Structure 1
Amino acid sequence: MKHVNAKKRIRMAALAGMALILPVSLFAQDGRTIMQNVYDAPEPAYLHTMVRMDLIEANGSTESRTVEEWSKTADDLTSMVMIFRSPASVRDTRFLQIENKGRDDDKWIYLPALRTTRRIAASEGSKSFMGTDASYDDMSSREVDEDTHELLSEKTVNGFDCWEVKSTPKVASSSEYSYRIVCVDKATLTPVHSLMYDKRGNLYKELTVEELRNVGGYDIPINTLLTNVQTGHATRLVITNIEVDKPVSDRVFTQNFLNTGRL
């Protein structure tokens, strides 16, 4: 699952990354520049992960799921497939998302109990994805210039030295949030903390990266917590296994694979 409203989540490190990070650190003085650099930062061409998904009730009771995910990025557009492996109640549920240039992402979900694939309409963007605290829109990309970006401060968040940026939709109806406040780690250009506010201006969701790890030259959020502060429900995503830049057949990112689960 993607970070809320940030297309690029994992960043180049070591010498190659320093060539990008150093100029940003010296000269980024406004919110838009920071968010453009977040958006433009490199990410793997392919990513394959196993994820433990914990759905945490306000009383602390937890339901755990196992999800396998593949993603492919080409021409700055990302396709992604998720398969729920357990428990039995969601096993073999499959989700496909294909990013498009200049229009909404395409999304489909296969429901094994009904043996049918359903397209997710744009009007369903604010609905919960599979009972998590993420909406379908949270999982989509968002262009930098769909929002205005104001640099609020520089601060330390959970040990990360960050820029704090307020992002407000230029067209209110284009987002379920009235605005977001995002803390971007200066060293990796990774959003590590986000606050999302509802249409009344009340705090709605909080996203926290609890562990960021370098894998294969990329800084990857390994443990992420998304909390609905209005209900107390939360979703934790923990990557338990990961492969970067290992090619995946294009046939994985098709409706045929979504329908059958087979190549």
Structure 2
Amino acid sequence: MLSRILKFRTIQTSIALLVLMSLVYPVQAFAANSDLETVLTGSRQRIERLDYRATGHLTRVDGDGKRTSYKFVAKAHWFPDGLRLLCEISGPGSEKTSVLLHMTMSGHVTIEAMLPGQKTASVLPFEHWNDALVGTEFSYEDMIEGQFFWKNQELLPPAKYGARDCFVLKSSPGSQDRTHYDSVTTWIDRSILYPVHVVKTLRGTGQQKEFIYYGLRQVGGAWSASQVETKLQGKPGSSIMQIEGGSAKANLGRKDFVISQPSSQTNKSNR
């Protein structure tokens, strides 16, 4: 009889534990899903509200400290058909590189470019999206935050980056997402939902590219970084994008996103 009672109590205890576990795990899953939705919604809305002009410098710093600096002008606006971002980079001489990126709400990206010596812009083939932009560690693809619109999103355990408490989001492309990266892991400040650190893993090689965001500030209700530095794993030196001026509310229209002809061509047409 005693053995039966003990066995019955053991069964009761096991059932109670199963009930408790069934209550705990759904709560944890709900919290994780809620945080993921918060991160994705906040990150996508931030991009969908972009309307800025920015000026500054793009600088390549070699391993020995030698610096090569380029003037950098950028503007971006989210239209009903998605984001348009135009970058114009002027080198130490008179040459200029212009890049126009377009990303739809589904995350589909197209890139047009007019490189030094070219008279008109043309679509940049996908195989060149990961080319170095004017010799820096930044690639053409790095100019736009397409990873937040990829199909596969996973929230990793929260972590600190420096003094900041962060959500850690791992984004992986689906079959329809064109990218040279296998994954992008983003540390996002929990209080302002803005990236502070990003690690991108290159497809095929597994090589990692690190991005660090400095000087976070809020202008006109929008958060931005005054400086972004990127480093390529195993390669000495780094590249720095320094934002020195601009407007967070530029009221841009479609006419602002036409790649201009080189100055020599413009001068000829005005004769």
TM-score tier, shorter chain, comes to 0.7 to 0.9
Larger-gyration structure (1/2): 2
The answer to whether residue 37 in structure 2 is matched with residue 29 in structure 1 is no
Task: Give deviations 1:219-255, integer Å, cap 9, x for gaps.
Answer: 1111111111221242111111121212235322124
Gap change, CA 1:171 and 1:221, over 3 Å in 2: same
Work out the number of aligned pairs and report it: 234
Match of 2:247 in 1: 243
Aligned residues with identical type, % of pairs: 18
Relative contact order (alpha carbons < 8 A, sep ≥ 6): 1 or 2 greater?
Answer: 1
Gaps of 5+ in 1: 1-26
Gap change, CA 1:212 and 1:173, over 3 Å in 2: closer
The answer to whether residue 80 in structure 2 is matched with residue 68 in structure 1 is no
Q: Which amino acid aligns with 1:73?
A: W
Higher helix share: 2
Spell out the pairing of 1:104-123 with structure 2 (5 A cutoff): 104-123=108-127
Task: Give deviations 1:73-119, integer Å, cap 9, x for gaps.
Answer: 222722122222442153x3322223335574332222343434332
Match of 1:125 in 2: 129
Normalising by structure 1, we get a TM-score of: 0.76
Gap change, CA 1:220 and 1:146, over 3 Å in 2: closer
Match of 1:88 in 2: 93
Spell out the pairing of 1:154-193 with structure 2 (5 A cutoff): 154-171=158-175, 174-193=178-197
Q: Could you tell me how far 1:204 is from its partner in structure 2?
A: 1.5
Gap change, CA 1:119 and 1:215, over 3 Å in 2: same
Does structure 1 conserve the Cα–Cα contact (< 8 Å) formed by 2:98 and 2:113? yes
Normalising by structure 2, we get a TM-score of: 0.74
SS where residue 195 of structure 1 aligns?
strand
Q: Superposition RMSD on alpha carbons, in Å?
A: 2.9
How far, CA to CA, are the matches of 1:179 and 1:165 in structure 2? 10
How far, CA to CA, are the matches of 1:111 and 1:180 in structure 2? 28
Gaps of 5+ in 2: 1-29, 267-271
How far, CA to CA, are the matches of 2:218 and 2:167 in structure 1? 21
